[in-house]
Every structure is written in structure tokens, then in C-alpha cells.
Amino acid sequence: MIMPPNLPPLNAIPTNLIMGFLGTGKTTSILHLVSQKPAHETWAILVNEFGRIGVDGSILAESNATVAEVPGGCLCCEAGPVFDVTLNRLLSEARPDRLLIEPTGIGHPRQIIHKLSHEPHSNVLDLKATICLVDPRHLAQEKYRQHEIFRDQIAYADILIANKTDVCNADDLLRFQAFASALEPKKHTITRISHGCMDSQYLDIDANRNRLTPDHAQSKNIITREPATHHPSPDGWVQTEHNADGFYSTSWSISRDVVFDLPLFQTWIQSLPLERIKAVIHTRSGWTLINGSSDAIDLTNTAAAEKTVVEIITTTPMSLSAINRLQQFRSD
């Protein structure tokens, strides 16, 4: 870690991983955590995204924290070298009192924890409790229960939190409680929240070091990754495609001068077999944040951004016709 002259070295920065599968509300929960930040403290957020074009950085930019993005895949895999450089720069520039790390929803927790708990990162970071958010409705679906990353995120968490309980039924909540109670080793905390309203007191709980054994240092995942393809265009559009671990990301970065017809954009995304969508887009009525999954899509007004960014994650490749339709929703 390279430090500016005349500044003491950074040491034992409290650090938490905020994990969870796609669509569990990690970014919303982090925004709520940062809203509880003591006024005299500086917090930093390192957010990792599956897609090659980052969206969460635009969402978290309104938080009262210093934010850095690592797009393009899991922190421990293809984004690993970028992670090291970005983390070094973030810590050197922000000199935070606390660091929150949001891995991609399909990141590999055992390798990420191993990376953070060993040199050179362990010389600077004090890895606190790892927090995993779960949407209880996912436990009723085999595609989640049998997914190795979904299971690993839960296994390596010290604190397990059921989020989105406001849209769960009684069976969903009972299923979560039975599932969580049967986990071994036992979690430090099992609790339920809605709308990402997580108490910041969880951040100070110590990690259970026994969750990381030597066996966990090496990945057991069989991972299929394809290099990203980029499709720039003369009018300021950049579209990328990327896939790994059975998921496909299609992302766009578009000039802020392009204005979209929001109702047509909504109709388009509702027609897609998406697992996850995040977007900050410029519309005729201003800037709109779109955040959703296969279950629900939320739209809220947001501050003006430097550009329009869109990321859609699916379990099958998007068709070329679906991709090209986005150009039809311009209203500028």
C-alpha cells in the first residue's frame, strides 16, 4: 500500500462484506447503513459488478461515502487485478474509518474472504462480520437452493438477514426460519428486515475466523467464462456482453444527451426474461433509477448522472433483436 508522505500508515480499518445473490437488496441496504454513519467518520464503499459497465457506482454516488467501482466480474477471478489497484487507491485517497465491500451477486465468497484475510490486505483491513442478505422467496426455488454460489454466500456469512420481508408471505418466512435455524455452524445473528433497513450495529461484530479453513482457500467451482465483447458506436453508445457461471450480462453506457421515452423503456424491460436490472437513465421527465428483478421492478427519480447506464442480467443470451430495440426508445 503506497501512502502519501507525512501520513501515518493505515491500519485495522473495520471492513465488512455485504453479500447476497442477485436481487436481494445489497445496494439499498448499504445506502441505509451509510445513512447511520457518525458525522465525524469517513466511510468508503467498494462495489463489484458482474457487468463490464458499472451501475451501482451511480446509485451509491448520492450516499455520504467515497465510492469506487470494480466492474467486470468476481473480485477474486477476472476482476482480481483491478480490485487490488482500486482498493489501494480508494484507501489511500479516502483514508476511511470504515470500508464496506459489495461483491457481485454471483461472486465467490470463500475466495474473496481468503483474499481479504491474507497479506497484503490483512495488514490494513480488520475483516469484521460477513453479512449475507437473502430473499426468503428464493428458498422455494430449486435453481437458487442448488446454486453453489447461493449456498456458499450463506455458508460463509456470520450474519444472515432475510430482506424484502414486506413482500413475503407467511410460508416464505417460516421456510427461511427453518432453513436458517438448521445451518451449521450456527450464525452469530439471524434476523429479518424490509426495504434494506439494516442496523449498523451489525458492522462491529467480529468475524468467525473458523469459517475459513485451508480447504476453502481453493475454489471448487467449475467456472465457464467468456471474454466480454464490446460494441461501440459513433453516437456515444457502448454496449458490452459478458457471461460467467450460467449468467449473461448485457450493459450499455450512453451519452447523457440521449433522452429516452420511459413508458416504452418500461414495456421493453417487462418483456425480457431478466434475473436482474439496474439502470440510471435520462428520460423526458428527468433522471430515473430503475432497480428490479424477475419479481418486481422499482422506478424512482434520481439526481442527474454523467451518463445513462443500463445492466441487464439473464440466464440465457439476449437476442440481437431485443438488444437493438433499445435504440427505438429514444425521444431526443
Q: Residue 322: is its pLDDT beyond 90?
A: no
For residues 51 and 191, membership in a common domain is answered with yes
Residue 85 maps to a domain: yes
pLDDT in tens, 246-303: 889 899 999 999 999 999 999 999 888 888 899 999 999 999 999 888 878 889 999 8
pLDDT in tens, 65-115: 899 988 765 555 555 678 888 899 999 999 999 999 999 888 888 888 888
Closest CA to 101 of 138, 136, 127: 127
pLDDT attached to residue 108: 81
- Which of 155, 184, 210 is the last residue in one of the domains? 210
Mean pLDDT of the chain: 86
Rounded distance between C-alpha atoms, residue 116 and residue 83, angstroms:
11
Q: How many domains does the chain have?
A: 2
For residues 112 and 180, membership in a common domain is answered with yes
For residues 151 and 250, membership in a common domain is answered with no
Q: Residue 161: is its pLDDT beyond 50?
A: yes
Confidence tier at 15 by pLDDT (50, 70, 90): very high
Name the residue with higher pLDDT: 227 or 294. Answer: 294
Residue 101 maps to a domain: yes
Rounded distance between C-alpha atoms, residue 94 and residue 149, angstroms:
31
Ranked by mean pLDDT, the top range of 4-8, 30-34, 222-226, 227-231 is: 30-34
For residues 57 and 181, membership in a common domain is answered with yes
For residues 41 and 113, membership in a common domain is answered with yes
The residue to which cell 458482474 is assigned: 50
pTM (2 d.p.): 0.84
For residues 99 and 248, membership in a common domain is answered with no
Q: Residue 3: is its pLDDT beyond 50?
A: yes
pLDDT attached to residue 83: 84
Range of the domain at 281: 225-329
For residues 176 and 270, membership in a common domain is answered with no
For residues 130 and 265, membership in a common domain is answered with no
Q: Residue 160: is its pLDDT beyond 90?
A: yes
Other Cβ atoms less than 10 A from the Cβ of 120: the count is: 11
Rounded distance between C-alpha atoms, residue 21 and residue 132, angstroms:
9
Confidence tier at 328 by pLDDT (50, 70, 90): confident
Residue 236 maps to a domain: yes
Other Cβ atoms less than 10 A from the Cβ of 28: the count is: 19
pLDDT in tens, 42-57: 999 999 877 666 676 6
Confidence tier at 145 by pLDDT (50, 70, 90): very high
Q: Give yes or no for a contact between 43 and 66, defined as CB atoms under 8 angstroms apart.
A: yes
* 3 state SS of 230: strand
- At a CB cut-off of 8 Å and minimum separation 6, what does 259 contact? 282, 283, 284, 330, 331, 332
pLDDT attached to residue 220: 43
Residue 158 maps to a domain: yes
* 3 state SS of 100: strand
Q: Residue 232: is its pLDDT beyond 80?
A: no
Rounded distance between C-alpha atoms, residue 187 and residue 154, angstroms:
10
Structural element, H or E, at residue 274:
strand 274-283
- The CATH number of residue 65's host domain is 3.40.50.300
Other Cβ atoms less than 10 A from the Cβ of 99: the count is: 26
Closest CA to 131 of 16, 14, 209: 16
pLDDT attached to residue 72: 66
For residues 185 and 116, membership in a common domain is answered with yes
For residues 260 and 192, membership in a common domain is answered with no
Q: Give yes or no for a contact between 133 and 24, defined as CB atoms under 8 angstroms apart.
A: yes
Extended beta strands in 63-203, E state? 66-70, 98-102, 125-127, 131-134, 159-162, 189-192
Residue 234 maps to a domain: yes
Confidence tier at 231 by pLDDT (50, 70, 90): low
Tell me what the mean pLDDT of segment 127-141 comes to.
Answer: 96
Q: Residue 222: is its pLDDT beyond 90?
A: no
Residue 275 maps to a domain: yes
For residues 202 and 232, membership in a common domain is answered with no
pLDDT attached to residue 323: 86
- The CATH number of residue 296's host domain is 3.30.1220
pLDDT attached to residue 94: 94
Name the residue with higher pLDDT: 210 or 250. Answer: 250
pLDDT attached to residue 106: 82
For residues 197 and 243, membership in a common domain is answered with no
pLDDT attached to residue 52: 61
- At a CB cut-off of 8 Å and minimum separation 6, what does 223 contact? 77, 244, 245
- Which of 163, 180, 210 is the last residue in one of the domains? 210
Residue 4 maps to a domain: no
Tell me what the mean pLDDT of segment 165-174 comes to.
Answer: 97
- Which of 210, 244, 275 is the last residue in one of the domains? 210
Other Cβ atoms less than 10 A from the Cβ of 188: the count is: 16
Rounded distance between C-alpha atoms, residue 311 and residue 296, angstroms:
16
The residue to which cell 428520460 is assigned: 283
Q: Residue 229: is its pLDDT beyond 80?
A: no
Tell me what the mean pLDDT of segment 236-249 comes to.
Answer: 84
